Amino acid sequence: MTQYPVRRDPRKMIAVASVSIIIIIAVYAAVTWWRPRFVVYTYGSFFDYGDEGAETVLGRVFAPFERQYGVDVDIVLLDVDANGIISKLVAEKSRPLADVVIGIDNILILQDAAKSVLEPYTSPMLSLVNETFVDLLDPEHYLTPFDFGLITLIYSTSSINTTTHPQLGNLTFADLADAEFASSLVTENPSYSSPGLSFLLSQIAVYEKLLHQDWTTWWDDVRDQINVQEGWDQAWEVWSGDPSRNLLVSYGTDPAYSAYYYGSPPDTAAAPFFYDNQHWAWMQVEGVGLVKNGPNPELGKAFIDYCLNATVQSEIALNQWVYPIRTDLSLPSVYQYAVNPNEVSLLNLLLNRTEISTNLNNWLDSWTATRIP
């Protein structure tokens, strides 16, 4: 006897499927739902270079602020450099979600796009900050200084040192253009990375202001030898993983980092540039700024004040591995190995602010052109 198959009602199956899909969506949406809260945008590595990792440190640092004002502080770690943060703020301009942004530096603030998304604010806590930093970062107070670092070259002393290569003690760009050095150098793309941009401006400052030469010639000379990575993290990995790439554009505090984690004396040393009988480095000052038309402007101002408190500032040295902007706080002892800001001349001072802001895009275009094979 033949049997017809039992006819299941597809309507039931479709109904069951739809209900389960809706439940899954609802659960996912509920878990990731955007609740109104106090939002801070910053870059991905913020406070992430210490023993404990960003999550722990950020929780500890901002807990008192959350208690005092009864808000949840949501530090959104964007996986981009400061440039990308500005891009995001510009995209959200008509409807800002962030209240405060941390990490825009003294070069990026010179772009009109950056100023167009920020609201000037003069914090009363600025009295605790050396005025030089305010002048270096932004005298118009779109940004309040937060930390600073010196951009310089670093190398690992196990593969090269001042005995094998005496030039490292008094390094010039001409030395760096030498085939051996150029093919050891790792740097970052100035369009996407703030240390990379600082290095480009350092080189422009030296060539245009100290040597009075066309700066692009140096980049043409090293074009096929240097290794340009997109960001600092990638460049660091190449530098630490590839023994033939032992020169890196990085921070003058890296020897201190090395001493802290791998024992002193550190196996990493810095090589500031040497011209006119003095050492030079570029000072990067990072700031915290109030987002224009952000949802909680008053809270945002309080947050900026809070960022200059010792609670926050004292965590910078060992978690961010740059100098806290408050020079009155004591530094960890390993900082004796870092490049001392008082012992170098600042390349920043060779280029004035209007010069940078008018030429920045052209410089970046010319730099991109030098990379065309």
Partner 1 sequence: MNARTILNYAILSFPFLLLIVFLVFPVFFVNALYLFTGPSFFETIMSPSIRFILQFTIGQAILSTLMAVLIGLPGAFLIARLRFRGKSLVRAMMIVPFVLPPIVVVVGFLEMFGSYGVIDSILMWIQGSSTSVFNLATGIPGIILAHTFYNIPLVILMVSASLERLNPEIEESAEILGASSRQRLRYITLPHVMPSLLASAVLTFMFCFMSFPIVLAFGQGRFITIEAQIWNAFRLFDYGEASSLTLMQIVITLSLAFTYVRLTKRENETGKTASMKTTSFNRYPLRERVAIAAYLSLIVVLVLGPIATIARASVYDPVAKVYTLEGFTNLFRLGGQGAFRYLVNSLFYAGLATVFAVILGILLALDMRSHHRFVPTFASSMILLPLGISSITVAYGLVLAIAVPTGLITNPWPIIIIAQTIIGLPFSARAIELAMSKIDPALLEQADSLGASRIQRFLFVELPLLAPGILVGAVFAFAMAIGEMSATLFIALPQNYTLAVAIYEYLGVRAYVEAGASAFFLVIVCVIAFLTIERISEGSTGGAL
From 152-160, 229-237, 260-268, 312-320, give the range in contact with partner 1 by CB under 8 A. 229-237
Distance in Å, CB of 322 to partner 1, minimum: 20
First to last CA, the chain: 79
Return the range that interacts with partner 1 (CB under 8 A); candidates 169-177, 234-242, 252-260, 290-298. Answer: 234-242
Given a contact cutoff of 8 angstroms between Cβ atoms, the answer to whether 44 and 54 are in contact is no
**Is residue 212 close enough to count as binding partner 1 by CB under 8 A?**
no
Among 161, 178, 183, 192, binds partner 1 (CB under 8 A): 192
Scan for tokens 């510009």, then name that residue.
90
Query: Considering only 152-160, 176-184, 308-316, 365-373, which stretch makes contact with partner 1 by CB under 8 A?
Result: 365-373
Q: Which of 1, 6, 30, 372 binds partner 1 (CB under 8 A)?
A: 372
Binding mask 120-159 for partner 1 (x = CB under 8 A): ----------------------------------------
Residue 243, class by beta-carbon neighbours within 10 Å (0-12 exposed, 13-18 middle, 19+ buried)?
exposed
User: In this structure, what token pair is assigned to residue 112?
Assistant: 């009109």
Alpha-carbon distance of 125 to 112, in angstroms, equals 26
- In the complex, minimum distance from the CB of residue 167 to partner 1, in angstroms, rounded to a whole number: 25
CA atoms within 13 A on the CB side of 351: 26
Contacts of 197 (CB under 8 A, 6+ apart): 107, 108, 190, 191
| Contact call for residue 295 and partner 1 (CB under 8 A) | no
Distance CA(153)–CA(273), nearest Å, equals 8
What residues numbered 236-275 form the site for partner 1, per CB under 8 A?
A: 237-238, 241
Q: What is the dihedral of CA 371, 171, 199, 79, to 10 degrees?
A: 100
Rule CB under 8 A: say whether 80 interacts with partner 1. Answer: yes
- Strands 100-105 vs 278-291: parallel, antiparallel or unpaired: antiparallel
Using CB under 8 A, list all residues that contact partner 1.
7, 10-11, 21, 24-25, 28, 32-34, 39, 44, 53, 55, 76-80, 83-84, 86-88, 90-92, 94-95, 97, 113, 189, 191-192, 228-231, 233-234, 237-238, 241, 365, 368-369, 371-373
